[in-house]
């Protein structure tokens, strides 16, 4: 079939499924093989903190590179700048590691193991992110998805092997997580397809003011949720302890499918909008129809997580993690609002002409980031004071509330909301399908497996019949 945007979206989602699926299985194995304390420590040190440092190391460089028309010219500048920033971060962490680890309740006896795991992961993930930006801008969509999946698959295979030979220890797990992040970089440097992207490293061009503004705006918009979640994890680790941070991580694992829809939209929208050959983007365009389809599936997932999160937790995790499923639906509500905000902001940024237009898109997310710490801390303390689940609902409520606030602010400051209308056109049809499906599940109370299949068939059938979802887009999916 023709390799259209629907094709690449399915390919990208498939790689995300490989990544998240192997990551989920890895977490399930670890959850059954180690204590909740060790699980929380591994997810913090080997996953969450390297992600924070990678974002700091790359700044806006990989987003500049994602510009389909101009980004490729800044590849060498981006890689060199990322490495310099990474060295600075490494030195600062080396100097202040005692203070840093003590604040997060990370044990000091393994601080050198944790330090080198963080540094190796940061450099690998940072340089890979620059490659991903370049490949996305070149519209080589299949490679970024593939290199996202490689570390998770390698980790899963090695952990299964080590568990089989009874040689899986806490220290080995940390080392595996760090070293597996280097494999995509090795692949990119020695792949047979390297001639399609490595030649862009020869030219050193410093981005102009407009491109810096473009990249900075995308950096803030697309990492806002990730940074917010990481800040919440830090607060949970500090206020409630490592174990509760592990429970929160399990919740994020359970709602991982929602990231597929949001991540795919973010991955495709900017390069398609900035492509010099792009046609007008409206609800009948390929990007418009695909965006509506992805958006609609987040509501189906909300139904699943509201009614069946306990069932899913019970199947995937030991009973001691059961509390992780209690508030997952609150996260999904936040993701739905964040999808609208990201879609609207991405297109506004892609077509912005002035620095002021870029500034409007980033000033409010930046100003809201500190509130992830403030509101989460306040919510935990208030709920704990009233003996409500030890305050554990606080992180979920603060995340959702801030997602709603940012979405409203973005809509108000967009001026022309024509891109918002792409998603919200005929929104009443989506709402009716959602209400009918949720009501049927509530009234009939079918078994979990039956309920998931019934709700999927009924909800999507109603959307197709009503015309909210494009039939051709659905047909393209089943042709792949």
- Percentage, residues of the chain above pLDDT 70: 88
Which range, of 194-198, 205-209, 321-325, 461-465, averages the lowest pLDDT?
A: 194-198
Would you place residue 1 in the very low, low, confident or very high pLDDT band (cuts 50, 70, 90)? Answer: very low
Res. 478: pLDDT tops 60: no
Is the pLDDT reported for residue 477 higher than 60? no
Q: Report the sign of the C-alpha dihedral through residues 96, 99, 100, 102, in that order.
A: positive
> Please, which pLDDT band fits residue 373 given cuts at 50, 70 and 90?
very high
The confidence score (pLDDT) of residue 52 equals: 85
| Token duo for residue 262 | 């949001």
**Per-range mean pLDDT, top range of 38-42, 129-133, 332-336:** 332-336
Residue 27 has what pLDDT? 80
350 vs 372 pLDDT, higher one: 372
Q: HEC profile for the chain?
A: CCCCHHHHHHHHHHHHHHHHHHHHHHHHHHHHHCCHHHHHHHHHHHHHHHHHHHHHHHCCHHHHHCCCCCHHHHHHHHHHHHHHHHHHHHHHHHHCHHHHHHHCCCCHHHHHHHHHHHHHHHHHHHHHHHHHHHHHHCCCCHHHHHHHHHHHHHHHHHHHHHHHCCCCCHHHHHHHHHHHCCHHHHHHHHCHHHHHCHHHHCCCCCCCHHHHHHHHHHHHHHHHHHHHHHHHHHHHHHHCCHHHHHHHHHHHHHCHHHHHHHHHHHHHHHHHHHCCCCCCCCCCCHHHHHHHHHHHHHHHHHHHHHHHHHHHHHHHCCHHHHHHHCCHHHHHHHHHHHHHHHHHHHHHHHCCCCHHHHHHHHHHHHHHHHHHHHHHHHHHHHHHHCCCHHHCCHHHHHHHHHHHHHHHHHHHCCCCCHHHHHHHCCHHHHHHHHHHHHHHHHHHCCCHHHHHHHHHHHHHHHHHHHCCCCHHHHHHHHHC
280: pLDDT strictly greater than 70 = no
CA atoms within 13 A on the CB side of 183: 16
Output the pLDDT for position 480.
46
Q: Using the predicted structure, report yes or no on whether residue 372 has a pLDDT greater than 50.
A: yes
Long-range contacts of 385-392 (CB under 8 A, 24+ apart): 389/323, 389/326, 390/240, 390/244, 391/239, 391/240, 392/240, 392/244, 392/247, 392/248, 392/323, 392/326, 392/327
Question: Between 210 and 276, whose confidence is greater?
Answer: 210
Whether residue 31 is predicted with pLDDT greater than 50 in this model: the reply is: yes
Mean pLDDT, range 307-319, rounded to an integer:
84
Per the prediction, the chain carries an average pLDDT of 83
- 268 pLDDT exceeds 70? no
Distance CA 394, CA 383 (A): 7
Task: Specify the pLDDT at position 8.
Answer: 64
The pLDDT tens digits of the residues spanning 190-248 come to 887 777 777 778 888 888 888 888 888 888 887 888 889 889 988 998 888 888 888 88
Is residue 336 within 8 Å of residue 255, measured between CB atoms? no
**Is residue 278 pLDDT above 60, yes or no?**
no
pTM: 0.74
User: Does 416 have pLDDT greater than 60?
Assistant: yes
Please state, as a whole number, how many other Cβ atoms lie within 10 Å of the Cβ of residue 476.
21
Distance CA(19)–CA(25), nearest Å, equals 10
Give the mean pLDDT of 132-161.
82
Percent of the chain, pLDDT > 90? 25
Residues 446-466 as b/e (b if ≥16 CB within 10 A, e otherwise) read eebeebbebbbebbbebbeee
Higher pLDDT, 110 or 300: 300
Q: Return the pLDDT at 123.
A: 93
Mean pLDDT, to the nearest integer, of 432-459? 94
Query: How far apart are alpha carbons 250 and 42 in whole angstroms?
Result: 12
Count of Cβ atoms closer than 10 Å to residue 334 Cβ = 26
Choose from 55-59, 287-291, 466-470 the range with maximum mean pLDDT. 55-59
Tell me the pLDDT band of 277, cut-offs 50, 70 and 90: low
State mean pLDDT over 168-184: 88
Which tokens hold the place of 125? 């993930």
């Amino acid at each position: 079939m023709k390799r259209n945007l629907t094709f690449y979206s399915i390919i990208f989602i498939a790689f995300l499924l490989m990544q998240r699926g192997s990551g989920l299985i890895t977490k399930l194995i670890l959850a059954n093989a180690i204590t909740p304390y060790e699980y929380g420590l591994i997810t913090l040190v080997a996953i969450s903190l390297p992600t924070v440092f990678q974002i700091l190391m790359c700044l806006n460089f990989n987003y500049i590179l994602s510009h389909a028309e101009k980004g490729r010219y800044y590849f060498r500048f981006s890689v060199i700048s990322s490495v310099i920033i990474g060295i600075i971060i490494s030195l600062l962490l080396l100097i202040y590691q005692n203070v840093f680890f003590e604040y997060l309740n990370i044990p000091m006896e393994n601080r050198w193991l944790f330090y080198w795991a963080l540094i190796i992961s940061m450099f690998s993930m940072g340089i890979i992110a620059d490659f991903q930006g370049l490949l996305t801008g070149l519209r080589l969509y299949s490679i970024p998805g593939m290199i996202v999946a490689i570390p998770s698959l390698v980790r899963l295979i090695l952990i299964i092997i080590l568990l089989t030979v009874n040689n899986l220890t806490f220290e080995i797990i940390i080392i595996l997580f760090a070293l597996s992040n280097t494999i995509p970089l090795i692949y990119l440097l020695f792949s047979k397809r390297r001639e399609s992207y490595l030649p862009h490293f020869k030219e050193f061009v410093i981005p102009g003011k407009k491109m810096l503004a473009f990249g900075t705006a995308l950096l803030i918009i697309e990492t806002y949720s990730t940074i917010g979640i990481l800040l919440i994890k830090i607060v949970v680790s500090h206020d409630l302890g490592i174990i509760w941070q592990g429970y929160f991580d399990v919740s994020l694992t359970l709602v991982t499918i929602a990231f597929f829809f949001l991540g795919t939209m973010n991955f495709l929208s900017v390069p398609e909008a900035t492509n010099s050959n792009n046609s007008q983007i409206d609800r009948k365009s390929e990007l418009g129809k695909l965006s509506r389809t992805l958006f609609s599936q987040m509501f189906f997932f909300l139904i699943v997580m509201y009614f069946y999160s306990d069932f899913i937790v019970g199947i995937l995790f030991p009973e001691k993690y059961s509390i992780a499923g209690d508030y997952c639906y609150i996260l999904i509500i936040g993701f739905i609002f964040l999808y609208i905000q990201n879609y609207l902001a991405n297109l506004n940024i892609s077509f912005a002409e002035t620095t002021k237009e870029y500034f409007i898109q980033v000033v409010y997310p930046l100003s809201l980031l500190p509130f992830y710490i403030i509101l989460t801390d306040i919510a935990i303390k208030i709920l704990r004071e009233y003996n409500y689940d030890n305050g554990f609902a606080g992180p979920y409520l603060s995340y959702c509330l801030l997602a709603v606030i940012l979405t409203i602010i973005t809509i108000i400051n967009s001026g022309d909301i024509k891109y918002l209308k792409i998603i919200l056109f005929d929104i009443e049809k989506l709402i009716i399908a959602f209400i009918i499906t949720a009501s049927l599940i509530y009234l009939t109370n079918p078994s979990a497996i039956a309920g998931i299949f019934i709700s999927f068939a009924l909800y999507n059938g109603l959307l197709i019949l009503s015309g909210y979802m494009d039939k051709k887009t659905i047909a393209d999916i089943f042709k792949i």
